[in-house]
Amino acid sequence: MSATSGREVAVFNRHWLGWRCVVCAREFPREHAGWVCDRCGLDGILDAVYDYAGVARDLDRERPFPARGRPDLWRFAPLLPLRPIAAHAAWSLGDTPLHAPARLRAALGLPGLLLKDDTGLPSASLKDRAAAVGVAHALQAGATRLACASTGNAAASLAVLAARAGLPATIFVPAAAPAAKLAQLAVHGADVVKVDGTYDEAFAISLREIAAHGWYSRNCAHNPILVEGKKTAAFEIALSLDFAAPDAVFAPVGDGCIVSSTGKAFAELEELGLIAKRPRVYGVQASGAAPLVRAWAAIPDPTRLDGPAILRAVTPVVARTVADSIAVGVPRNRVKAWRQVAASGGGFLSVTDSSILEAIGLLARLAGVWAEPSAAAALAGVIAARDAGLVRPDETVVALITGHGLKDPLKGVQA
Ligand SMILES: Cc1ncc(COP(=O)(O)O)c(C=O)c1O
Ligand SMILES: [Zn+2]
């Protein structure tokens, strides 16, 4: 990664200190060449480290995160590694609704249920938040092509935002990705490489090609700048609630980037004293692709595990689920995800495919939100947690609705 060359498109956050490996805790400067830890290799995913005292000094506590112009995700630049100098269609997005769905609340007996609805972002998934920050960084770094492997939505966000930025994109997808998702890539002019294999295989091939050609990596579980962008969904939730943090937040888990960034975002707001207490964060996996749930349940005190122990605890599974975006056998960001979930007092839960399909129907009919299966898994997780007594009716509970149902439209229509 070249973090300093290229055009003056964006500037680094002066309170962003650099990187720390999630496994061995080694630190690296911002300019570190290579996305991951030298010693730990691909498992050594880096995490952005900030000087929170410095961030706090610069923050107006009466009115933190004022929007400059359109209220997009860059209002949270004090907690992102970089900030673009000027607004641009490729990276100005965010400010999605937080619904208080009366009929769904009544049907579920959860009067404090909220839906963070990211289905209306440019490519119709939360992934645009990561891609927006990635595209700004890629242009700043002088990248000539962006690439990723994806079950569909990360690729779609790359295809859409690369088209807006005028950058070419190469995307490696498992051949079994839903047709609507593949169409979204083709229509935006991305170069699509279909991999006759799983997402995990597509990921490995993408890394080889990215390294061979010096492309910009839009793999969220590889390029840690992208995970930072995903924090903005949680920041918006807090802002919408006037910094009265929710009690619990449910995020679907594939590679574990969304759940990590959700946990990290609330931890940062707590660190800055903007919220009194971070919410419990729950990661929801489909029961046919639940390596984190399985490992979590087998460990008596999951909060005590260090990075290497988490790596040993989470063993790969063969992923089989109707929810293609979370059909991941080896969550790349498992250490970050585990840590954040553990620190929040939350947990990992699994939901069956039939409960996911039912959740699609509930969301669509009772809240007017059409979620793709992986996104509906968050609501299925809320229902499972209610049944298990993990959330109480008097609590404020948020489900992250991470992707639109039109991306995979035939699932859930009969449920
Ligand atoms: C709609 C949707 N929800 C959830 C996820 C899971 O996100 P992560 O891989 O960050 O865990 C994805 C990932 O592709 C997704 O597309
Ligand atoms: Zn390391």
Interval 126-182: pLDDT, tens: 999 999 999 999 999 999 999 999 878 999 999 999 999 999 999 999 888 888 888
Interval between CA 109 and ligand 2 midpoint (Å):
45
Cα–Cα distance between 82 and 98 in angstroms, integer? 26
Q: Find all residues with CB under 8 Å of 97, minimum gap 6, and list them.
A: 116, 117, 120
Interval between CA 56 and ligand 1 midpoint (Å):
31
- The structural domains of the chain, ordered by start, are 98-124+225-407 (3.40.50.1100)
pLDDT at 3: 43
27-28 and 16-21 strand pairing: antiparallel
- Give pLDDT tens digits for 201-213: 998 999 999 999 9
- Give pLDDT tens digits for 267-276: 999 999 999 9
Q: Find all residues with CB under 8 Å of 70, minimum gap 6, and list them.
A: 87, 92, 95
Cα–Cα distance between 216 and 252 in angstroms, integer? 26
Nearest ligand, CA 126: 1
pLDDT, the chain, mean: 94
Interval between CA 46 and ligand 2 midpoint (Å):
8
Q: Is the pLDDT assigned to residue 4 strictly greater than 50?
A: no
Nearest ligand, CA 39: 2
Average pLDDT over residues 347-353: 98
Helices 179-187, 153-165: axis angle to 10 degrees equals 10
Neighbours of ion ligand 2 (CB under 5 A): 21, 23-24, 26, 37, 39-40, 44
Nearest CA residue ID for atom 15, ligand 1: 325
Cα–Cα distance between 189 and 177 in angstroms, integer? 17
Q: Is the pLDDT assigned to residue 305 strictly greater than 50?
A: yes
Cα–Cα distance between 162 and 145 in angstroms, integer? 9
pTM: 0.96
The stretches of 101-195 forming alpha helices (DSSP H) are 102-108, 127-140, 153-165, 179-187
Interval between CA 35 and ligand 1 midpoint (Å):
20
Q: Find all residues with CB under 8 Å of 166, minimum gap 6, and list them.
A: none
- CB of 108 closer than 8 Å to CB of 383: yes
Nearest CA residue ID for atom 10, ligand 1: 257
- CB of 29 closer than 8 Å to CB of 20: no
